Structure 1
Amino acid sequence: MPAPVYDTNTTASELVNDYKSIIQDKTILITGASPGSLGGYYAQNIAKANPACIILAGRNTTKLEQCTKEIQAASPKVKIRTLKLDLSSLQSTREAAAEVVDNWDDIPAIDVLVNNAGIMAPEYRVSVDGFESQFATNHLGPFLFTNLIMKKILKSTSPRIVTVASDGHRLSPLRFDDYNFDGGNTYDKWVAYGQSKTANMLMALSLANKLGIKHGLLAFSLHPGVILTNLGSHLDWDDVDVKGLWSTDRRLGNAEGWKTSFDFKTPERGVATHVYASFDPLLKANNGAYLIDSHIADPLQDTLKPWTTSEFEAERLWRLSEKLVGEEFPY
């Protein structure tokens, strides 16, 4: 029987139904899970397949509890844990990781980590540690958290790490010598967003290369599509901000700069690729891949810039990230 073909219209519910036997009994940790977020929608969908435990991680404990109630209203039997995690702070990230590794004896392994949390195109600011906010929250925090809980991920018989990137990676490669945008003097909110999403893709590639053969770890990055969630609620999608995005695209020569509208997805379609990346068994042959519309991105048809597929760039970012977080992870 041929494998099913998924596309941009595939929904999370369809995939959860197809992967039900795989999701069952898995422990899944999701960062950035809150009501109205992609993390929240993803958790609601996979809860229907009776996983062993869903761990919701986020910086706002009130929103975590609200998200928990919404999930359990539809799936009352599912076990849910919450974890306070502020990825913009290296200290908070270390504290959350220590909680998972040192104190959660009842959860011996994490089968799937979904690095879903992120921010998009805010005005210039730096994190408490002095890093441009998008680079800090979207990359350095997830990089540190992922590696600090790696021992529990590798205790899984089928460990998998999914990182939510974006086709916004087209807006910038890694600015290795100016990731902080000269203290804001050269800041472009969309270029900074692109840099952080490129970092997401390179981290997935590094994880696959470093831990795939030796430990059987699968790692993927993905573009969920354009979905109206709380991620972009601060942006003006009708005028100023979208014009800034398209202007940046035109300056870079990207085809997206000449679009006049977005192909918005519903949340059900938007988190389908989350589910696909987390559980599809056939992806094993393409470890480290970037996914879009529930398939492996095709560089001839999908937006996929070469700086996101470079193993040299991936290793360079890994070493820079180790330096910035102050800890080495020599797998």
Structure 2
Amino acid sequence: MPAPYDTNTTATELVIDYASIIEGKTILVTGVSSGSLGNFYVQSIAKANPACLILAGRSTSKLEQCAKEITADNPNIEVSTLEIDLSSFDNVRRAADQVNSWDGIPAIDVLVNNAGIMAVEYKLSVDGFESHFATNHLGPFLFTNLIMNKILKSASPRIVIVTSDGHRMSPIRFGDYNFDGGKTYNKWVGYGQSKTANMLMALSLANKLGVKHSLQAFSLHPGAISTNLSAHLDMNVDIQGLLSVYRQLGEKEGWEDQAFTLKTIDRGTATHIYASFDRSLKANNGAYLIDSHVADPLVDIVKPWATNNIEADKLWVLSEKLVGQEFSY
């Protein structure tokens, strides 16, 4: 029987439980800047002696700082850095080419798509797409598929995508994913659409590659944690916009004074580690995870638009069209 993990489980505890699985693995993680969940994740799993950690992000200086901290405490781990801007398809393609050129890293055992943005003002990416949808979904979709051959060379390939219970704020707006040039834009709805996309992408990967290539893919909600993801927000003001969306949707949090209970970063990163290494999850390929367990739609907050195979197929086709490349698995 798997351990009874819950909302109080910490990353520190899970690294001990999964140490033998983590050891020797090659793991690529996006979004590892100081103060982030990605940073705490790589710092935590480094204690279990993975063979190689690939740290990916926009800032070379932040990547180098993270790498320096890891190697200082764990000199036997190979650490590589990868500069990538997920909001730019050209940049994503260059980063993927770099990963694919690394002959010394023949396989990637775990890819963790952790980087993202939250509740930013309306802006189009360089390729012309709403910034949440571009950075949180289209960029990771393209990058993941471009390095898929290297992932599938692993004996037990796994892809983890960090989403949020914020997915309930919006399904995929297939007819208006760009919010009519900003006219229909709400920054929390934009964020919600991208988080739904994360869940549907994990489901598609599991459906397309699970049986034939033994790929496992999961999405996860880490919980509400105070990190650099929300550093640009004035929550005294922005929380009202969030609660307004919930009220419009009829979600009970819209009327609660204390709608969110914050986790520590150690608790908030636990589900990252559970998703990356728990062996019992094989029976739930494609699942959405929360509090280090498979989410139960009858108990946890899970919207059907984010777990629907038809919606997943539609998003896959749309994503291929928008990135300009088909991936036939």
Amino acid corresponding to residue 165 of structure 2 in structure 1: D
Structure 1 residue aligned with 2:203: 205
Amino acid corresponding to residue 312 of structure 1 in structure 2: I
- The alignment yields a C-alpha RMSD, in angstroms, of 0.7
1:119-146 deviation per Cα after TM superposition (whole angstroms, max 9, x unaligned): 0000000100010000000000000000
Structure 2 residue aligned with 1:241: 238
Q: Find the partner of 1:255 among 252, 273, 295.
A: 252
1:136-188 deviation per Cα after TM superposition (whole angstroms, max 9, x unaligned): 00000000000000000000000000000000000000000100000001100
- 3-state secondary structure, aligned to 1:265: coil
Distance in 1 between residues matched to 2:59 and 2:88, nearest whole Å:
14
Q: Find the partner of 2:289 among 288, 291, 305.
A: 291
| 1:175 maps to 2:151 | no
Residue 78 of structure 1, CA deviation: 1.8
- Please, which moves more after superposition, 209-218 or 295-304? 295-304
- 3-state secondary structure, aligned to 2:55: strand
- 3-state secondary structure, aligned to 1:25: coil
Residue-pair matches, total: 328
Amino acid corresponding to residue 320 of structure 1 in structure 2: L
Structure 1 residue aligned with 2:25: 26
Distance in 2 between residues matched to 1:98 and 1:168, nearest whole Å:
32
Distance in 2 between residues matched to 1:74 and 1:233, nearest whole Å:
28
Structure 2 residue aligned with 1:157: 155
- 3-state secondary structure, aligned to 2:48: coil
Residue 245 of structure 1, CA deviation: 0.1
1:79-135 deviation per Cα after TM superposition (whole angstroms, max 9, x unaligned): 11000000000000000000001x200000000000000000000001000100000
Matches within 5 A, 1:131-150: 131-150=129-148
Distance in 1 between residues matched to 2:289 and 2:14, nearest whole Å:
15
Matches within 5 A, 1:35-46: 35-46=34-45
Distance in 2 between residues matched to 1:153 and 1:226, nearest whole Å:
30
Structure 2 residue aligned with 1:56: 55
Structure 2 residue aligned with 1:77: 76
Distance in 2 between residues matched to 1:258 and 1:48, nearest whole Å:
43
Amino acid corresponding to residue 28 of structure 2 in structure 1: L
Distance in 2 between residues matched to 1:259 and 1:70, nearest whole Å:
41
Residue 68 of structure 1, CA deviation: 1.2
TM-score by length of 1: 0.98
Residue 301 of structure 1, CA deviation: 1.3
1:291-321 deviation per Cα after TM superposition (whole angstroms, max 9, x unaligned): 0000000111111000011100000000000
| 1:5 maps to 2:14 | no
Residue 290 of structure 1, CA deviation: 0.2
Amino acid corresponding to residue 51 of structure 2 in structure 1: A
Matches within 5 A, 1:216-231: 216-231=214-229
Structure 2 residue aligned with 1:112: 110
Distance in 1 between residues matched to 2:310 and 2:255, nearest whole Å:
32
Distance in 2 between residues matched to 1:39 and 1:78, nearest whole Å:
17
- 3-state secondary structure, aligned to 1:28: strand
Distance in 2 between residues matched to 1:295 and 1:259, nearest whole Å:
26
- 3-state secondary structure, aligned to 1:257: helix
1:268-306 deviation per Cα after TM superposition (whole angstroms, max 9, x unaligned): 001100000000000000000000000000111111000
Distance in 1 between residues matched to 2:298 and 2:255, nearest whole Å:
19
- 3-state secondary structure, aligned to 1:314: helix
Structure 2 residue aligned with 1:313: 311
Residue 257 of structure 1, CA deviation: 1.3
Distance in 2 between residues matched to 1:65 and 1:259, nearest whole Å:
42
- Please, which moves more after superposition, 254-263 or 312-321? 254-263
TM-score by length of 2: 0.99
Residue 72 of structure 1, CA deviation: 2.4
Which residues of structure 2 form unaligned runs of 5+?
none
- 3-state secondary structure, aligned to 1:66: helix
1:167-213 deviation per Cα after TM superposition (whole angstroms, max 9, x unaligned): 00000000001000000011000000000000000000000000000
- Please, which moves more after superposition, 26-35 or 74-83? 74-83
